[in-house]
Amino acid sequence: MELRSITKKNFFLNPANLKRPWREDYLAMFSSQWQGVTTDPDLMMIPIDDHLVHRGDGVFEVMRCVSGQIYQMEGHLQRLDRSAKAISLNLPSDYGRIRELIGKLVVTGGERDCIIKVILSRGPGGFGISPFESPLSHMYINVIRFRNLPDEYYEDGIPLVTSSIPIKKSFFANIKSCNYLPNVLMKMEAIEAGCKYSVGLDEDGFLAEGSTENVGILSADHVLKFPGFERTLSGITVNRVFQLADQLVKEDLIRGVEFARISLEEAYQAEEMFLTGTSLGVLPVVIYDGKRIGQGKPGRVYARLSGLLWKDMTENRDVLTRIDWEPGDSV
């Protein structure tokens, strides 16, 4: 077998000829290693010897820009700080200007509705397992075109299945680590079951979380319940939904809202069920493990929560970070 020799001179000849349509959504990237920004997907690369790549040694956050403003950026960055501290990952030198970098990168991407992914990696330094091989941590920021879920997901609801994949233990569950293999297997299992989403159970058989989503129910006695964060990631969106749900108590739509252990049987008997997440907001579940939830259609509590969250995402200045869309200095 004859192998083509790759050199600096011909490196980009082959990638330019490959058809990779999914890259049309890659709007911009910043790399602390290259100290710059690119809008060319061919250049959006990470070194193979970065421990992020071959060990999953890094942490990340995903946030959403809505109509030109970033929703809950501070909450996401605080969780990113906690995750980095939990794995003793020193913050890259550029992290001090993370807010400025994110804003300018979004403007460079050119779309007011987008997803921002920030990754902090252990950095390049060899192919061993020791984190001390890497002399410097690095930061990568990607801006990605936002594509909403199909309208029918929200209008008709979605099916959900229970995953057989064991969830992460509490220490790792509370770190937003780049090692997402259990989450990947959960998503694979859901798709192979004819669904888009699945939810895992903790070691005692209670609801935990989805592959990238938190789960909640409206119980048969009209209490809004979410699994606690002892065994799941403390979701930025679900915490906000929890706060907004106080309005539903005032309106007598629900009796109360709480973090609680939710059994499978209680979930099957729920009046309503839904998922929450950064990119999907609140998503109604109408079938769980083949069993109809409530009336088998999105309910009033889902509709009210979804409306409150959207208003929060678009009008609440306390949780929105404005971006300067006027041309300015380069990143």
3-state secondary structure the chain: CCCCCCCCCCCCHHHHHCCCHHHHHEEEEEECCCCEEECCHHHCCCCCCEHHHHHCCEEEEEEEEECCEEECHHHHHHHHHHHHHHCCCCCCHHHHHHHHHHHHHHHHHCCCCEEEEEEEECCECCCCCCHHHCCCCEEEEEEEECCCCCHHHHHHCEEEEECCCCCCCHHHHCCCECCCHHHHHHHHHHHHCCCCEEEEECCCCEEEEECCCEEEEECCCCEEEECCCCCCCCCHHHHHHHHHCHHHHHCCCCCEEEECCCEHHHHHCCCEEEEEECCCEEEEEEEECCEECCCCCCCHHHHHHHHHHHHHHHHCHHHEEECCCCCCCCC
Say if 328 falls within a structural domain: no
Considering the domain architecture, whether residues 64 and 102 belong to the same structural domain is answered as yes
Considering the domain architecture, whether residues 187 and 110 belong to the same structural domain is answered as no
- Neighbouring CB atoms inside 10 A of 319's CB total 17
Q: What integer best gives the mean pLDDT of the chain?
A: 94
CATH code of residue 139? 3.30.470.10
Residue 86 CB contacts under 8 Å (≥ 6 apart), including other chains: 171, 174, 175
Task: Say whether pLDDT at 330 is over 60.
Answer: no
Say what angle helices 98-109 and 73-86 make with each other, to 10 degrees.
Answer: 120
Q: Tell me the average pLDDT across 29-44.
A: 94
Give me the pLDDT at residue 267, please. 98
Q: Tell me the average pLDDT across 81-103.
A: 96
Give me the pLDDT at residue 115, please. 98
Considering the domain architecture, whether residues 158 and 303 belong to the same structural domain is answered as yes
Considering the domain architecture, whether residues 120 and 61 belong to the same structural domain is answered as yes
Give me the pLDDT at residue 277, please. 96
End residue of a domain, out of 122, 145, 168 = 145
Residue 38 CB contacts under 8 Å (≥ 6 apart), including other chains: 28, 29, 44
Answer for the pair 51, 121: CB distance below 8 angstroms, yes or no: yes
- Catalytic residue, chosen from 168, 176, 187, 225, is 176
Give me the pLDDT at residue 17, please. 63
Considering the domain architecture, whether residues 200 and 99 belong to the same structural domain is answered as no
Q: Tell me the average pLDDT across 179-185.
A: 95
Task: Say whether pLDDT at 9 is over 90.
Answer: no
Cα–Cα dist 190/131, whole Å? 34
End residue of a domain, out of 119, 145, 171 = 145
Task: Say whether pLDDT at 329 is over 60.
Answer: no
Give me the pLDDT at residue 16, please. 58
Task: Say whether pLDDT at 215 is over 70.
Answer: yes
Say if 323 falls within a structural domain: no
**Range name among 155-164, 211-220, 224-233, 322-331 with the lowest pLDDT average:** 322-331
Q: Are strands 158-162 and 281-288 parallel, antiparallel or unpaired?
A: parallel
Q: What confidence tier does 331 reach under pLDDT thresholds 50, 70, 90? A: low
Give me the pLDDT at residue 230, please. 87
Q: What confidence tier does 62 reach under pLDDT thresholds 50, 70, 90? A: very high
Considering the domain architecture, whether residues 41 and 112 belong to the same structural domain is answered as yes
CATH code of residue 193? 3.20.10.10
Task: Say whether pLDDT at 231 is over 90.
Answer: no
Q: What confidence tier does 328 reach under pLDDT thresholds 50, 70, 90? A: low
Say if 235 falls within a structural domain: yes
Q: Are strands 197-201 and 158-162 parallel, antiparallel or unpaired?
A: parallel
Active site residue 104: no
pLDDT tens sequence across 261-307: 999 999 999 999 999 999 999 999 999 999 999 999 999 999 999 99
Domain that holds residue 240: 151-315
pTM assigned to the model: 0.93
Give me the pLDDT at residue 170, please. 82
Specify the number of domains making up the chain.
Answer: 2
